[in-house]
Structure 1
């Protein structure tokens, strides 16, 4: 099962829009960029796993680095709280966990 970056991005954007609807006009551009980066990170992890170049632990570290970077960017939007951003990111990861974990054949999310 190969991860589709466009599909992952679209799913995350849908979740972000629902979770952060009151701030959506201000956050939309940031959310689009960060969803794309997170999706590309998942695809990179998948490629590295298939090539045998990354362990599950290394994959988790790569994911945490990107997730923390995305959290930081979203927190830069005036009026967004840490709780709101964390809930949005958690909801997005929850929406992707079956497809991502299935493609990687280990639990990343």
Structure 2
């Protein structure tokens, strides 16, 4: 199993989210940075837990759903951002790292 480079996938996710939220990026940026960093770190944690045999693929998927909900809730607090824009930003952020993360984990979690 390959290691997940948190900084690299964070940069990719932020670029993707910025492209979707460009009209509100100044307001969303600090929140997106914090939440997507936590998501990237949790993806790395899932990899570590898998190596240790402490998490199943199903548990990993549920855990990631919780993380995605956290990102969604935080971004929805920004005035002017609606659910469609927030969902599009989250989907864009995850789409750019999907192959890298799934390959690194050896599981399809994204």
TM-score class, shorter:
over 0.9
- Could you say which residue in structure 1 is the equivalent of 2:64? 63
User: Unmatched 5+ residue regions in structure 2?
Assistant: none
Instruction: Note the C-alpha offset of 1:78.
Output: 0.4
Report the alpha carbon displacement of residue 50 of structure 1 after superposing the two structures with TM: 1.1
TM-score scaled by length of structure 1? 0.98
SS of residue paired to 1:77: coil
C-alpha RMSD over aligned residues = 0.6
What CA distance in whole angstroms lies between the structure 2 residues aligned with 1:106 and 1:27?
31
Residue equivalent to 2:35: 34
The alignment status of 1:2 with 2:3, answered yes or no, reads: yes
Stretches of 4+ aligned residues off by more than 6 angstroms: none
2 CA distance for matches of 1:69 and 1:25?
20
Aligned counterpart, 1:76: 77
Residue 84 of structure 2 is aligned to residue 44 of structure 1? no
Look up the match of 2:14: 13
Within 1, Cα distance between the matches of 2:42 and 2:28? 21
Deviation by residue 1:23-76 (Cα, 9 ceiling, x = unmatched): 011111001101101101100111001111100000001101111011000000
Gaps of 5+ in 1: none
